[in-house]
């Protein structure tokens, strides 16, 4: 329940499943204010081969920080390769709060490659989650790339058994 004039954040998850190319989704949001239904439109271009994107190629295209031993995995690096002929500025558009920090280079030269780093925050080390972050380029299309981040944590001492986190995802 929200008071009049109050606000909250709403997370909408769009899973690409087996979609290809341009996909538009319009999730319905119901409120008790105004017209009965409101819609948010999500327009995406699902790339079948993430190694052939333009103007950048991101490797790995999915970041997996899963942990199955006692050794903590709290950091992962990724590469952004510029396959265009112009310098591209990189900016962070969205990142989930409280889970990780990103060290993202400011730009990448034509034909160049830069490294970024994702580091888990302390509170996220024991969490399992599937989230993502989105970067934007300064090319003429203002291209955006969303990079999935997955973390599965198995509990030590209980082979094959997992625990459920406070978000309902499996650990």
9 in any annotated domain: no
Name 168's Cβ contacts closer than 8 Å, sequence gap at least 6.
none
Residue 97's domain spans which residues? 49-151
- CATH number for the domain spanning 106: value is 2.60.40.10
Instruction: State residue 102's pLDDT score.
Output: 94
What is the pTM (predicted TM-score) of this model?
Answer: 0.69
123 in any annotated domain: yes
| Whole-number CA gyration radius for the chain | 19
Mean pLDDT of residues grouped by 10 in the chain (171 residues)?
Answer: 72 74 79 73 74 84 88 92 94 91 95 95 90 93 91 66 42 37
64 in any annotated domain: yes
Instruction: State residue 1's pLDDT score.
Output: 61
39 in any annotated domain: no
141 in any annotated domain: yes
144 in any annotated domain: yes
37 in any annotated domain: no
Number of domains in the chain: 1
Instruction: State residue 154's pLDDT score.
Output: 80
């Amino acid at each position: 329940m929200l008071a009049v004039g109050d606000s909250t954040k709403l997370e909408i998850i769009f899973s690409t499943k087996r979609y290809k190319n341009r996909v538009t989704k319009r999730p319905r949001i119901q409120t008790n204010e105004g017209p009965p239904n409101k819609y948010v439109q999500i327009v995406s271009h699902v790339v079948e081969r993430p190694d052939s994107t333009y103007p950048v190629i991101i490797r790995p295209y999915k970041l997996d920080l899963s942990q199955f031993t006692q050794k903590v995995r709290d950091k992962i690096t990724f590469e952004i390769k510029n396959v265009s002929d112009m310098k591209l500025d990189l900016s962070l558009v969205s990142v989930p709060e409280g889970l990780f920090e990103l060290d993202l280079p400011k730009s990448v030269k034509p034909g160049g490659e830069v490294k970024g780093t994702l580091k888990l925050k302390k509170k996220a080390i024991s969490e399992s989650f599937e989230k993502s972050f989105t970067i934007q380029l300064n090319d003429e299309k203002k291209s955006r790339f969303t990079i999935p981040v997955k973390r599965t944590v198995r509990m030590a001492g209980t082979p094959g058994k997992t625990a459920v986190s406070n978000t309902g995802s499996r650990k």
